[in-house]
Structure 1
Amino acid sequence: MRGRRHRAAAALAGLLALGAAATGCGIRPTSVPVDAGPAPSRVPCEVPDNAVTPQFEGVTAQVYLVCGAQLVTARRSVRIPESTGAADRLRFAQALLDELIAQPSGDEKDAGFTTEVKGPLTVTAAHKNDPAGALRLSRNPADLSALALSQVVCTYAENTPTAPGSQQVVLGGPGEDPARGYTCTSEMKSRPDSAATLGDIPRPTRT
């Protein structure tokens, strides 16, 4: 019994000595948990194939919602203009924005989907000196929450990118500040609560 007590005391003394050595090296013991990224999701984040019921003639578009602390695509029926003019692209961009603002359906909620994009929020045409393909929001992109901005960026990059296959969109606010490029990256999808990385200010290419 005395031997076991001696060994336990020696082990405790060793732990205390190790803690003291760590403190002496500038390492403070702490009980604060370390941020190791979002916890694995326990929600399905998947809506049944028959859950999308078009309410009007259109096509099924992919919009990005929040599920399990990540961005996950959800299918929505969106009216797509027949032509590809600037005005039609603007209407399509507004339709996508409206889908992000709308509350998830019952099936989407059951699967764990939510949205952080809050209305009122509209999209308008690019300003005179903006680059081609730029979109202007009724609020400054920087004023949106990180999650909401990530949803908007990735939804636009998926459906109406500045250039085909670029996964980039050029967004600005209602003021005179220059529009900025935003890229929907895999990091943005996995950690949408992080601030979106601003791209360069694109050079105007409007004609």
Structure 2
Amino acid sequence: MSTTRRTAPGLRAAAAALAALALGGCGIRSTPVPVDAGPAPSRASCAAPAAEEERRPGDGTVRADVFLVCGGAVSAVERTVPLGGSEPGPDTRLETARELLDELRENPSRAEREAGFGSSVPGELEIDGPGDGDPGGTLRLSRDPGGLPSFALAQIVCTFTGTAAAGQEDSVVLGGPARDGGGDPPLRYSCTEALRGSPEAAKTAGTPLP
């Protein structure tokens, strides 16, 4: 009888060890272990927030669509921006372009960031009027349009078109820095679906002027 009492605990221990080995052989952990499943899915809504209340349109300001990057595409958000002049003309065109470029270079508001919006437009980017020999209405950037970061060109083109910066037209004429001899010929850009949705589209965007 005493022999049976001594061996029973040993049998139970052996059975437990065999069970643990069986679980390990099946790839099942016998104790819970945290699993790193990677980053949480993005919760960016890409729903454009309302324009900030403290920047309501009034004298010298107007509501405008400013295009930001969200979810791998460029979409419009509404902002209140300086009017940029009341009479059509070269000065108004350039002034409006500079005001809109300022908006693109700004950090998005808290509401815009929470919705997932950002900007690819470089903070140091500048814009000027036509160079020697350029057609009227040309806007020249301080960097070549095709060399801008992904989506930056789409942001600029889509923000400018339809405004005084583009002469109220549905396209805008852009070039890079003016150099000796006038620089590279400017091209006409439209806010196409391809430009808004593909980071590679900027490399082939733009059509030569007649």
Aligned partners of 1:50 and 1:152: how far apart in 2? 19
Aligned residue type for 2:138: A
Aligned position for 1:62: 65
Aligned residue type for 1:155: T
Q: How many residues align?
A: 162
Q: What percentage of aligned pairs have identical amino acids?
A: 39
1:195 partnered with 2:201: yes
1:178 partnered with 2:181: no
Aligned position for 1:126: 130
Deviation string 1:24-58 (CA, Å, 9 cap, x unpaired) is xxxxxxxxxxxxxxxxx852222443535317740
Aligned residue type for 2:201: A
RMSD of aligned residue pairs (Cα, Å): 2.3
Scaled by the length of structure 1, the TM-score of the pair is 0.70
2:50–2:78: 8 Å Cα contact kept in structure 1?
no
Deviation for aligned residue 1:130: 1.3
Deviation string 1:57-95 (CA, Å, 9 cap, x unpaired) is 400110100011111101111111122221121011001
Aligned partners of 2:65 and 2:152: how far apart in 1? 16
Structure 2, unmatched stretches of 5+, are 1-41
Q: 1:51 to 1:126 in 2, by over 3 A?
A: same
Aligned position for 2:99: 95
Aligned partners of 1:106 and 1:54: how far apart in 2? 14
Deviation for aligned residue 1:96: 0.3
Aligned partners of 2:51 and 2:81: how far apart in 1? 16
2:49–2:115: 8 Å Cα contact kept in structure 1?
no
Aligned residue type for 1:78: V
1:1-207 correspondence runs (5 A): 42-49=43-50, 51-54=52-55, 57-80=60-83, 81-160=85-164, 162=166, 164-165=168-169, 167-174=170-177, 175=179, 176-191=183-198, 193-196=199-202, 197-203=204-210
1:52–1:77: 8 Å Cα contact kept in structure 2?
no
Aligned partners of 2:121 and 2:82: how far apart in 1? 20
Aligned partners of 1:152 and 1:201: how far apart in 2? 18
Deviation for aligned residue 1:142: 2.0
Larger radius of gyration: 2
1:180–1:200: 8 Å Cα contact kept in structure 2?
yes
Aligned position for 1:14: none
Aligned residue type for 1:159: T
Scaled by the length of structure 2, the TM-score of the pair is 0.69
Q: 1:139 to 1:50 in 2, by over 3 A?
A: closer
Aligned partners of 2:165 and 2:97: how far apart in 1? 10
1:64–1:151: 8 Å Cα contact kept in structure 2?
yes
Aligned partners of 2:172 and 2:103: how far apart in 1? 18
Aligned partners of 1:119 and 1:50: how far apart in 2? 22
2:63–2:79: 8 Å Cα contact kept in structure 1?
yes
Deviation string 1:161-203 (CA, Å, 9 cap, x unpaired) is 64644x3211111131111111211122222x12323333214
Aligned residue type for 1:43: A
